[in-house]
Amino acid sequence: MPWHSNFTEMNHLGRAMIAKPDVFGDKMTRVFSSYNYSDNPMTSVLSQTGREVTINSNEWEWQLRGASTRPLIYQGAQLTGNPGQYNTTFEVILDLPDLQPGDVIHPGSPKYQVRVQTGPQKKGVYHSYRVAPVNKDDAFFIPTRYFKPGQKWSKLFSQYPEASEQDGSTTYALPMTLKNRLSRYRKKYQVTGDAANEVLAVKVPDSGGKMHNMWIKYAETEYWSQWYRELERGNWYSRSSDKVEGANGRPVYSGPGIQELLEDSHTHFYNVFSAKLLEEFTMDIFYNRVTPGASRKLKVFTGEYGMLLFHRAVTNEYQGSGFITVDSNFIESSSSDYHSNSKAFGYQFTKYKMANGTEVEVIHNPLYDDREIHFDIDPVTGYPTESMRFTFMDFSGEGTESNVKRVKKRNGYSLVYVNGLQNPYGPVKNAMASHAGDYYSMHVKEQCGVHIEDVTRCGELILKRA
C-alpha cells in the first residue's frame, strides 16, 4: 500500500483506505513487525525518582575523582650487570616527580622492592631517582624484564631509620572535569480539515494495537508512539557532533547516547557466550573497586537472542554444577488429548547470582532487535548482530544518587498546535488562527540527554565473529 508522511490529505486516505473493490472485514490488520515500542526500557528506568535531573543550559559538567595514586612509568636508565646485586644502588628514571627519599617502590612484584635514596633529579622531561634493593640476600637482583620502557612501577610504603627527619610522599587525586551536552529533538504532523473529520471505511490499528476509525485519532496516537520510540533511540544511539549545519546555518549540537558514552568503559568482543565469560567480564568492572558483597548489582540490556544466550549459559552452568539434579518447579500439569497425565516442562533464567556477590539481571531492549534500523545480520544465527549485544549498567551511586540519569533542559519541552481553519478539536469558528489554510499541524520539541557519572562502572559485551 502507498505510504505517506507528515501531511495527510484526502487523496492519501482514498488510496490507502477507501478506493478498493471489496474489503473483507471492517478492520485493517497491521503486518507483524517490530512496530510496538510500548516498552521503552531505558526511558522507563530513567524516569524513576532520583534518575532525572533538570538543568538550565544546553551543556553540563561534573567532577570525577580518580584514585589517589597511579603507577609510575619506567623510562629507562644506564644499567650494568644485575641491578641491585650485592646491595648496590642504581638509577631508575620515572615519569613523575612524586617520590621522596624513603619511599619503597617495586616494578610489578612486591618481591623486588627498592628504596628511594636520593631524588628526584630533573632529567629532560622525566625524573631520576637513586634506589637501593630491600633484601638481605647479597645475590638478590631484579630481573632485567622489569627495566623495559613503559614498565609500571608502584609505591608500597615509606621506611626510615631511628632519629630520621625525612618523611614519605603523599599524592592527591585532582578531579577530572567531564562535559556533556543535550540533544534537541523535534517532530510534527499535519492534517487537512477534510481528512481530520473523515470516518474511515475500515478501522486502522496504531502502534499499540488499538483500533481507530477517525484519522485524527489514529494520526496522533501513531505520532506519539513514534516520538517516544525516537527519544529511546536517541538515548542509546545519538552521536556527539557539532559539525552538521541546519537549514538556518546554525550547527546541530547533538550529545552522545549510551553506546558512545560506554566506548570508554569496559568493552569486550566475544565469539562464544558463556557463564564463565559473564563472571570474568563482571569481575573486570568490580575487581578491586567494589568489595565483594550485595552491592555488586548490574542491569544487563540485551535483545531477544541475547536473552536466549543468557538463559543457555546459565542453564549449562546450572546443569554442570552437580548441585541440584531435579527441581519440581520446572514441571507443571498440563492438558492434552494424547495422555491422561500430561505435563509441561520449562523455565527461563533472567538473573544470575555469581560468586563474590555479583548479580546480573537481564532486561529486554527491543531496540536491539529492531530490523528497521539493524541490517548487520549474524551469519551464524540469521538475526541482527545487535540482538546479541549485552550492555551492563550499574545504576547505584553515592548515597541515593543514581550513576545513570536522564538530563532535561528546564522549559526545554514544547508542544504547539498551529491552527488554520481546522484545529485538533474540529473546524475553527469565530476564533484566531495562525494561517488561512484548511489544515492544522502539531509540533513537539524536547532537549534531553543521558548522564553517566562513572562509565567505568558499566561495560559492553559485543558479538564479533572471527
In the predicted structure, residue 33 carries a pLDDT above the cut 70: no
253, 398: one domain? yes
Residue 238 forms part of a structural domain:
yes
What is the widest separation between alpha-carbon atoms in the chain? Answer: 106
pLDDT tens figures, 77-129? 888 888 989 989 999 999 989 899 999 999 988 899 999 999 899 989 999 99
Residue 335 forms part of a structural domain:
no
Residue 334 forms part of a structural domain:
no
201, 139: one domain? no
Mean pLDDT of 149-154: 92
Residue 338 forms part of a structural domain:
no
Residue 26 forms part of a structural domain:
yes
115, 151: one domain? yes
Average pLDDT, the chain: 85
Amino acid present at 388: M
Burial (CB < 10 A; 0-12, 13-18, 19+), residue 213, is middle
pLDDT tens figures, 171-209? 877 777 888 999 999 999 898 888 877 777 767 776 667
211, 273: one domain? yes
Residue 329 forms part of a structural domain:
no
Listed residues 124, 158, 192: the one ending a domain: 158
Pairing relation of β-strands 422-423 and 426-427? antiparallel
Count of domains in the chain?
2
61, 76: one domain? no
Strands in 72-73's sheet, in edge-to-edge order, are 72-73, 152-158, 103-106, 114-123, 126-133, 90-94
Listed residues 111, 126, 158: the one ending a domain: 158
How far apart (Å, rounded) are the C-alpha atoms in residues 127 and 149? Answer: 14
pLDDT of 32 reads 53
pLDDT of 21 reads 46
190, 148: one domain? no
pLDDT tens figures, 393-439? 999 876 678 899 999 999 999 999 999 998 888 889 998 999 999 99
186, 279: one domain? yes
pLDDT tens figures, 437-452? 999 898 999 999 999 9
466, 381: one domain? yes
In the predicted structure, residue 460 carries a pLDDT above the cut 80: yes
6, 120: one domain? no
Name the DSSP letter for residue 285.
Answer: H
Residue 122 forms part of a structural domain:
yes
In the predicted structure, residue 296 carries a pLDDT above the cut 50: yes
How far apart (Å, rounded) are the C-alpha atoms in residues 228 and 223? Answer: 9
43, 139: one domain? no
Mean pLDDT of 139-155: 91
pLDDT of 37 reads 45
Listed residues 94, 125, 158: the one ending a domain: 158
pLDDT of 141 reads 93
Query: In three state form, how does the secondary structure of 217-272 look?
Result: HHHHHHHHHHHHHHHHHHHHHCCCECCCECCCCCECCECCCHHHHHHHCEEEEECC
pLDDT of 176 reads 78
pLDDT tens figures, 227-279? 888 889 999 999 999 889 889 999 999 999 999 999 989 999 999 999 999 99
Range of the domain at 111: 72-158
125, 249: one domain? no
207, 111: one domain? no
Residue 326 forms part of a structural domain:
no
Quick check: helix, strand or coil at residue 13?
helix
